[in-house]
Structure 1
Amino acid sequence: MTVRCAAAAAGLVGLILIATPIASAQPAPDQNVKDIRAYPLAQGRYSTPDDFYFVFFRTPDGRACGIGPNGGPVGCDAVPADAPPDTNQTVVNSWAPAQYRHSDTAAFTRDVDVLPVGYRLENWGATCAVEDENVVRCQTYNSHGFTLGRGYGELW
């Protein structure tokens, strides 16, 4: 009986391993599945004395981002590789979907701390989190936001 149970268990494990898909490149995160507000709040130096009620951060891969009060503007002085030519910022406000745009000034770049992977910052209705070393996701109320990776971006 013991041998029979062990054989059945081994067969079941083998079946599970065969049916499990092989890992491949990480797909873009699904905004409907992952709630970035579940990440723990980061502790650090994320504000500056000259920017009233704004929160700023840098990503582990060097992008500069910020969260304005009351739902925005929220954005990064960066765009993904698939963004339209001549754009250099990704921006969202609570009243409109995110967009790529061109700016002659860096609106979100400050000398502040890096937001670690798996942590978030919030500012009056808007949240940003670093999901992995190369992906930042920001959202504001009214279901607007963006995901910004090196090679891709999602706007909503």
Structure 2
Amino acid sequence: MRVDKKKELRPSILDRLLDDEPHIQVEADKNRHQHLRELRNSVKRDLENLLNTRYRMVEPPEEFTQLELSLLNYGLPDLATVNIADTEKKRNFTRHLEKILRDYEPRFKTVKVNHVDNKDNTDRTLRFRIDATLYADPAPEIVIFDSVLDPVSRTVNVEESKHG
């Protein structure tokens, strides 16, 4: 059976330029499952990078409207300035996360971010779940990432959900 090159899953340009195994001179052919696993891993890596990047603090002048979706706004605001003390503020923060993911993760066809309650009332981390659909041929691929924002270190950890 012949593989249509237009339908073949290909890693992003960044993933093709990065070489995790430089000692291997010839790449082995990969099946769809292997390509999907690599795609999921690269999305996870890029999500962690996006959510652990802080954007600039000063608003650009209003006449520079195109800067709204530029790299100047890539990432999250300084988390020291973000109030997530109550349920409504957590909901607002997750809506903001959704917007950031829609703006800066083009591999997502759809994305939804939901706050996840902590089982321990003394746990001050913010837990959220990212439910997304990745563009993939021949059919979109559903991914779920369980994420934790640590308010002390101000870092976000992203893991692919084991509970689909």
TM tier relative to shorter chain: under 0.3
Q: TM-score with structure 2 length normalisation?
A: 0.27
Q: Which has the higher contact order (CA 8 A, sep 6+)?
A: 1
Q: Which has the larger radius of gyration?
A: 1
Q: TM-score with structure 1 length normalisation?
A: 0.27
1 or 2, which has the higher strand percentage?
1
1 or 2, which has the higher helix percentage?
2
